[in-house]
Amino acid sequence: MVAQVTRYVVKRILLLVPTLLAIIAINFFVVQLVPGGPVEAALAAARGLPGHSVTVDPAQMAALRAQYGFDQPILRRFGILVRGYLTFDLGTSFSSGQAVSQMIWERLPVSLSLGLWSTLLVYLVSIPLGIMKARFPDSKFDVVTSILLSLGVAVPGFLLAVFLVLLFAQGGVWPLFPLRGLGSGLWDYAWHLVLPMVAMTAGGFASLTMLTKNAFLEELEKLYVTAARAKGAGEGRVMFFHVLRNAILPLAAGFPAAFVAILFTSALFVEIVFSLNGLGLLGYEAVLTRDYPVMFGTLYVYTLVGLGMRVVGDLLLLAIDPRVGFERQS
């Protein structure tokens, strides 16, 4: 069994390498086509004309291009980028002069904590809600909760975050929660997380709730449920003892994928609105300033986390249900 797990993990890691290289290459060469790079931004800032191109002498342009490494051919720059990434040398920020790896390491816990707590909240609410909807299908409770879930999906997370700031953050209509940062103490940290987590999770309840409901409804139609009821088992015992352990398998195995989805889709906008110093805000600021090392560094880390969590999800599914098999999963 240990040998099977080792072979499977090695195989998946080897498959991740070309995927990672392809993602980095596509983004690297696409970004080169975007006008207004760091050289132009530095020249404009030096002349006091932010956002506008200026005319300079060739010597000054050549010096700036050499400073930012743009005097090298594009393929050579890409090769240097890839060699550095193999050792997690992500370069130096054009804007701050700091090591990109250090900047990401300082911001990474904020984004991971937001994604983790938000995913846990979605699971803690959606699974019991989906079970109740499956137990009472087509009831008023089922209809009303479906409408509320649809409304949550319809409102974009960014727009909801803005509304929450206007209504409940400091300076809003009801200033119950802090506006920026995450605080220091445990209670202060939790209180700062309330509004960001609500904004990140409002749209995530619907899909997991309906997945839970459909999984339980499918299990309820199987013969072992009919046999359990025929033996006199109560509805609660059937639902939580017999059905739960079978229907929960895809939900538990999907936790890493749900974490990645929330981290990638919601964290960026929420970090911007609430000024949370995570990877999303770092990458956004890097795009505005054309800070290429930070842009590619954050993308690299996001890609590693996403691909790594897919492997974790596969291993979790295999651990929960060995019937899947390593060969089939591969």
Q: Of 87, 114, 144, which marks where a domain is finished?
A: 87
Confidence of residue 330 (pLDDT cuts 50, 70, 90): very low
What's the pLDDT score for residue 16?
A: 81
Q: Of 87, 113, 134, which marks where a domain is finished?
A: 87
Calculate the average pLDDT of the chain: 78
Q: Per the structure, how many domains does the chain have?
A: 2
Task: Please give the single-letter amino acid code of residue 68.
Answer: Y
Task: Count other C-beta atoms under 10 Å from residue 205's C-beta.
Answer: 21
Q: What is the pTM of this model?
A: 0.74
Tell me the CA distances in angstroms from 187 to 78, 107, 165, 193, 197, one per residue in order. Answer: 46, 21, 20, 10, 15
pLDDT tens profile 52-108: 545 556 676 676 667 666 777 888 888 888 888 888 888 888 888 888 899 999 888
Comparison of pLDDT for 266 and 75, the residue scoring more: 75
pLDDT tens profile 127-138: 889 888 888 888
Could you tell me if residue 242 is inside a domain?
A: yes
In DSSP terms, which residues pair with 169 in a beta bridge?
177
Who's near 134: CB < 8 A, 6+ residues apart? 212, 213, 214, 216, 217, 220, 239
pLDDT tens profile 140-150: 998 998 888 88
Could you tell me if residue 20 is inside a domain?
A: yes
What's the pLDDT score for residue 26?
A: 86
Rounded Cα distance between 271 and 207, Å, is 23
Could you tell me if residue 247 is inside a domain?
A: yes
What's the pLDDT score for residue 321?
A: 63
Q: Which domain holds residue 16?
A: 9-87
